[in-house]
Amino acid sequence: MEPIESSVKIFPGTGSLDLAKKIAEAYGKPLGNYSSQRFSDGELSYSFNESIRGCDVFLIQSTCPPADNLMELLLMIDAARRASAKYVTIVVPYFGYARQDRKDRPRVSIAAKLVANVMQSAGADRLMAMDLHAGQIQGFFDIPVDHLDGTAIFVPYLQSLNLDALTFASPDVGGVARTRTFAKHFSADMVICDKHRKRANEIASMQVIGDVTDRDVVLIDDLIDTGGTLCRAAQLIKEKGARTVRAICTHPVLSGNAYANINSSVLEELVVTDTLPLKQQSSKIKVLTVSDLFAKAINNIHSHGSISSLFINN
């Protein structure tokens, strides 16, 4: 008897339903049939309404707050494993808890490692994510990790703007490597905003290292939460003589007063992706979709093709 090639089946979590629909459409097949329900006490339940035995199953869910999104993903993984899926790949465009990737003070949890442990314990065979807060989080997993790069989305957009005095800026020292990737690709200069925090989401002081006079400055970050750091950096860069200031952030977490901060800022625009759904619309926020990139990655994983071929540097 000839072996039967396993088929691809794509299922969404409720937190990433719109993105999952776009990815499935870009891949060329509909989402799988599933049910997700919540009991009156808030308890979650997830089930597959079609056979996935022997299939390559891709489960799409960003683990953004609230924690229900993470819990639902774990239920999806467990259900797929118990339904005899051949291979379970979790597609987590935004990997939550990634900012807690080390012990930066005594007696705290390394939450990113904890999340990695529970995902693997639930039965995931592979993780696909985009622009992790820190690249070393890949090492928290003992399964293959495909770390997609947002530059493949943002570089073509920046090229379309035809900015003739381009300079890239990192809003903090930790984002230098990410910013340098953009600067290197465009053969452009880069500057650094050095900040000192009193506590989480509160900046004590900030200074710009480098010259931004008469430059079109693009701030680069992996995510934007309250927007305090980014908007303050933009204001400081503008005061230093920049011609325009815009920002690129892969993951629009946008909590607290984020929308008010952005709308009242000096930013020309904030360019984000749809790894997370926007809570409200803003004339200053432009959303680029990652659906085509993830669809190509799913195809390459299933066909044992190259993932690095999807990076802009290649």
User: pLDDT (tens digit, 9 = 90+) per residue, 200-255?
Assistant: 555 556 788 899 999 999 999 999 999 988 999 999 999 999 999 999 999 999 99
SS3 107: coil
The pTM for the full model equals 0.92
Residue pair 52/80 in contact (Cβ under 8 Å)? The answer is yes
Instruction: Say yes or no: do domains 8-148+291-310 and 151-288 share a fold.
Output: yes
Eight-class DSSP state of 284 = T
Torsion angle of the four alpha carbons 196, 200, 204, 206, in this order, in degrees rounded to the nearest 10: 50
pLDDT in tens, 97-119: 999 999 988 999 999 999 999 99
The CATH class, in words, for 151-288 is alpha beta
Report, as an integer, the average pLDDT of 73-96: 98
pLDDT of 6 > 90? The answer is no
Active site residues: 195
Architecture of domain 8-148+291-310: 3-Layer(aba) Sandwich (3.40)
Parallel, antiparallel, or unpaired for β 216-224 and 285-288?
unpaired
Q: What are the domain boundaries of the chain? A: 8-148+291-310, 151-288
Q: Is the dihedral of CA 28, 281, 91, 296 positive or negative?
A: positive
Burial class (CB in 10 A: 0-12, 13-18, 19+), 277: middle
Pick from 93, 84, 89, 123: nearest CA to 15: 93
